[in-house]
Structure 1
């Protein structure tokens, strides 16, 4: 792919002629990697989910967007609405880089309700003549017709003393009728931090200090922080950049995870356990959470990573969002489950029951390109169990489970074209309990694996050939008694909407 110049990366979408935009859209529409039931960019690059909220009977889901190609450049917010978090209606661009403060990009932020009305708080990115970053925090009001009105001035005009211009991604939450904003930051020692602000009127924000987590040397920047409480547990999500890999942990270029415990919001001290990764796959970053209409905490992440080149880049687009996940704390552990409404996408149910052994290749006659597969492990006397999806004569995506160690491995060595700048072709996680269930959501170019009813999740992009549709099972020694339930999944593409419906506004 040709190298993008700075001028190309910071060209305004509004200044590009219609013929160029139409040609790019046609190129993207022809991509064999376009997803069926995931949010993806109409063109260009999608990254962080932003402004997630349930408001007045609708879900609002936005994402960072560079419209003109599969690279990071001048960022906009692109917004969808939904009634069920399964079917989405594009609303087009909601936030544009149209002021001096956000001249070089409308960066990440969150949504909240104040006096019954919807607002966004976001980071504005500006570069001076020497290309020095200037980060400020802004608020915009969302009107009933979907139009957005930015406040005339920044509500937080500079980082506090002792912190650099790596100061972004405000997440607003309400506690005891007070508005708080947690912001990702870097101190002057080059260490990642989470900063806390407070407001009563959303116009004037008081800096309270940094949250004391005792993680003094844990990455050089903490992006996309998020705070919430589930069943009495305070949880702080953040994405530390610059954490070295450690065995099966921290294998991606940047990490995403959480600490859980108790936050003393008045004294800014959090007593917590270890940092845990949210996802053990190859492609997961920048998650954001919100509360749905039923009071559940929902998480959506970016299915991708910065500084990584993907095969779909050649087709003029990159990345998608994960499926929505319901978070819960059970037995002191955070679990993630796919939302139940995804069952609306199910068609063509098939089931099979039987033993898998060393000689098994197809326990079931399944094939699939976009499907949900539930595997129940009813008995297991095997040392290793292997599950393969998206297989052909030359390609396969392998999920292996070692019974003794409880290690589950995702291996995409033979999964077709691979992203560049990625360490290794396997990801491994150790389960807390014996493997009893796998729930797989396989889309045209992705897989999301939920282990043991949400105990672990592994999310990755897959770029196989179109004939890689097989599903296989086998063991290393011994046998396993398994139950398979497979559904084909009907997505938006079936309704001729996902690739072509996006507004050009």
Structure 2
């Protein structure tokens, strides 16, 4: 038996061993993607190919810690019902033996081609990095094609997470990197045929105008166009908290500007956080057949008390966000739940006009849509959301799952708060504020037994509540 086959067999045995326990966990999601065993992190290879959406993911199937990652695989026709697929990539070759790290997928010559970072570490922990290619004729079984990009001069081995796309008649790749001065950056490469790559230069870096000391490493970059503007998403590591900004261990955000594809010159604006919640990292987007720019992110943050999450004793940790449609308006990205999410709804909605206060019970898988002059709400007696009208600040508060101490995340809403669109799923919250002006993505480990929802407003308001499906992920 080859080493690749051995690893696949061991991973599937881990799923067989742990999944019964995993799915019985009351915190396991009903309609979000989560691992059948072990640890899930970055979304990879996010694409619609031949009518089916494919989402690959960083996966450690054997335990809830990090290590030599696989590429797990889910697929869907409708973005609601998902199917667990055969493992796409295993860390079985000399160029990826310490992990098949993050990357992306493209449709080329009728094949589904994935680019990923092969991670290699020696016994002393010294790192080597290779950008690798694998391809598939059916979207499910992949053949590795080896190394396509080696580490260029001027960068440390923290050089990873290739995102590939076609612009006009050339292929381009953006890679997250660290320069020799230990500052983060994004590097642009190009190729005529996906085989031979030329490094054009640094697209942006930690001290590029108007940035200032923006981290020691940039992970998971993604460059795309919205409304004829060039948007660079990335996840910088090493930012110090600044008031209500940058309060997670690592952040995710974007800059907006104009790229010169010949020189890699990129004039852009300031860095803006993409999500204001406790758990959100490594987002990746794709352009689907309907022309929508759809983002999906990891509902987690690296090295942020991962081992303390309450799901760890049950053999799994982390999940993905819902897919979201992106819109660019007034130099700001807005995020919206997809129309397909309406397919999750079961039965008739609770539909109430209420005066100042509304209390009810809700399912652990629920959708809540509130319109009005909103003051505060409480979910399951656990998570509080409240708006300081005088300061224009919206705050999400929860007890830390590490020590129970109250912790908060906040954002500014200069024009006030008039709508909250919330998705609840066993152990998660996704809160879309003012039609996507801001989003809070967070885990929510509420004790069993409390199913309450309390809404307070400053005047008569309107709420709709739907029960949502609880079984949309088909693993076994």
Does the alignment reach a TM-score above 0.5? yes
Encode CA deviations 1:127-159: one digit per residue, 9 max, x unaligned.
1232211110001111226210111x31012x2
- SS of 2:313's equivalent in the other structure is helix
List aligned pairs for 1:7-406, cutoff 5 A. Answer: 13-14=7-8, 16=10, 22-144=16-138, 146-151=140-145, 153-157=146-150, 159-212=151-204, 214=208, 215=211, 217-307=213-303, 308-309=305-306, 310-348=309-347, 349-356=349-356, 360=357, 363-377=358-372, 380=373, 385-391=375-381, 396-406=382-392
Q: How far is 1:69 from its partner?
A: 1.3
**Are the structure 2 counterparts of residues 100 and 119 from structure 1 closer, same or farther at C-alpha, using a change threshold of 3 Å?**
same
In the alignment, the residues of structure 1 paired with residue 11 and residue 174 of structure 2 have an alpha-carbon distance, to the nearest angstrom, of 39
Unaligned runs of 5+ in 2: 1-5
Could you tell me which residue of structure 2 aligns to residue 9 of structure 1? none
| Aligned CA distance change for structure 1 residues 19 and 300 (closer, same or farther; 3 Å) | closer
Aligned 8 A contact 2:155 2:180 in 1: yes
Tell me the CA shift for residue 273 of structure 1: 1.4
Contact (CA 8 Å) 1:368, 1:471: kept in 2 or not? no
SS of equivalent residue, structure 1 residue 365: strand
Query: How many Å separate the matches in 2 of 1:184 and 1:320?
Result: 23
Separation in 2 of the partners of 1:256 and 1:418? Answer: 22
Q: What does residue 451 of structure 1 align with?
A: 433
How many residue pairs match? The answer is 463
- For residue 271 of structure 1, report the CA deviation from its aligned partner: 1.5
Separation in structure 1 between the aligned mates of residue 22 and residue 91 of structure 2, nearest angstrom: 24
Alignment partners' CA distance in 2, 1:240 and 1:17: 31
Q: 1:412 aligns with which of 398, 412, 415?
A: 398
Secondary structure at the counterpart of residue 92 of structure 1: coil
Paired with 2:369 and 2:254, the residues of 1 have a C-alpha distance of 27
* Structure 1 unmatched runs, 5+: 1-11
Query: How many angstroms does 1:30 deviate by?
Result: 2.4
TM-score between the two structures when normalised by the length of structure 1: 0.88
The question of whether the paired residues in 1 share the 8 Å contact of 2:15 and 2:36 is answered with no
CA contact (8 A) 1:445 1:462 kept: yes
CA distance in 2, matches of 1:260, 1:143: 36
Quick one: distance in 2 between partners of 1:85 and 1:276? 28
Q: SS of the residue aligned with 2:343?
A: helix
Equivalent position SS for 1:27: helix
Q: TM-score, normalised on structure 2?
A: 0.93
Contact 1:258/1:276 (<8 A) preserved: yes
Structure 2 counterpart SS, 1:39? coil
Q: 1:99, 1:226 → 2: CA distance?
A: 27
**Inter-CA distance 19–294: structure 2 relative to 1 (3 Å threshold):** closer
3-state SS in 2 of match to 1:344: helix
Query: Deviations along 1:431-485, whole A, 9 cap, x unmatched?
Result: 142211100000000000000000000000011111121001236xxx3221010
Match of 2:3 in 1: none
Q: Structure 1 residue 115: deviation in Å? A: 2.0
> Residues 352 and 364 of structure 1 are in contact (CA less than 8 Å); yes or no, is this contact kept in structure 2?
no
Q: Is the 8 A contact 1:252 1:423 kept in 2?
A: no
Q: CA RMSD in A?
A: 1.9
